[in-house]
């Protein structure tokens, strides 16, 4: 065969590596829904187990380095996501970065709490309401992590679920209705937690009704990745956050 060709770069805008939970039913789909042209997502999965409890979330720490090492070995990625908000709350952002960088040394890392915190700061949000799919114990851990980031948590409420598949089954309309119910009138912004829920589908509707910014786990992750990769591609249809630049 005699054919002349040049190999193409399928992700000239950047390669995002996602360490997703083995039980995750949504984050890849949700993130891909928002990806700008030229950016692609490459996933490996970390072993975990339902029910979603603090103990089970912490237990996955032992497999994170292995999972991160499987992200395009030999080529590499430009940024690594650990794709679990509650897992970040249970394990801790600094420990997650340490575990990932054993496998991906020097590669920028993000997680939902870090990304959401950076996102909220671009709106100068101090007082926030938080909607989650979790039970009270996991909610408490999430709230404590945001308090450590110097946010004033006015309230946090959840659907009381402890299974990733059930979380993904939450109808977007129910997420939107709950968001409007729980957002405190005094809040500067609303954070909708969890990579497993389809909250990206209601961001703009909820923002329009509330008249204030809405940040979600997957939306914040993609936004933060683009910022870390210095990719200024325009993303539309998923809230005001994509009009914001990372604070210097």
The pLDDT of residue 92: 97
Model pTM greater than 0.85?
yes
Mean pLDDT by 10 residues, the chain (248 residues): 93 97 96 97 96 93 98 96 98 98 97 98 98 97 98 98 96 98 98 98 98 98 97 96 82
CA 151 – CA 57 distance, rounded (Å)? 23
End-to-end CA distance of the chain: 53
Q: Which domains does the chain have, with CATH numbers?
A: 14-111+220-239 (3.40.50.12500), 113-216 (3.40.50.1860)
Q: Is the Cβ–Cβ distance between 194 and 86 less than 8 Å?
A: yes
Main-chain dihedrals φ then ψ at residue 174, nearest 5 degrees: -70, -35
Q: Is the Cβ–Cβ distance between 189 and 214 less than 8 Å?
A: yes
């Amino acid at each position: 065969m005699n054919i002349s060709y040049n190999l193409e770069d399928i992700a000239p805008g950047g390669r995002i590596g996602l360490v997703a939970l083995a039980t995750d039913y949504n984050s890849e789909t949700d993130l891909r829904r928002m990806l700008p042209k030229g950016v692609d997502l490459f996933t490996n999965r970390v072993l975990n187990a339902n029910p979603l409890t603090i103990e089970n979330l912490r237990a996955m720490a032992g497999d994170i380095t292995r999972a991160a090492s499987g992200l395009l070995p030999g080529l590499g990625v430009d940024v690594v996501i650990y794709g679990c908000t509650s897992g970040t709350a249970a394990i801790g952002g600094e420990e997650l970065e340490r575990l990932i960088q054993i496998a991906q040394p020097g590669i920028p890392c993000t997680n939902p709490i870090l990304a959401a915190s950076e996102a909220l700061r671009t709106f100068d949000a101090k007082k926030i309401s938080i909607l989650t799919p979790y039970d009270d114990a996991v909610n408490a851990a999430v709230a404590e992590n945001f308090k450590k980031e110097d946010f004033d948590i006015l309230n946090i409420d959840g659907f009381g679920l402890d299974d990733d598949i059930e979380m993904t089954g939450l109808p977007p309309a129910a997420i939107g209705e709950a968001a409007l119910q729980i957002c405190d009138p005094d809040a500067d912004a609303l954070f909708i937690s969890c990579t497993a829920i389809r909250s990206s589908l209601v961001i703009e509707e909820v923002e329009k009704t509330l008249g204030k910014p809405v940040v979600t786990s997957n939306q914040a992750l993609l936004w933060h990745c683009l910022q870390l990769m210095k990719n200024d591609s325009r993303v539309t249809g998923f809230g005001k956050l994509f009009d914001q630049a990372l604070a210097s």
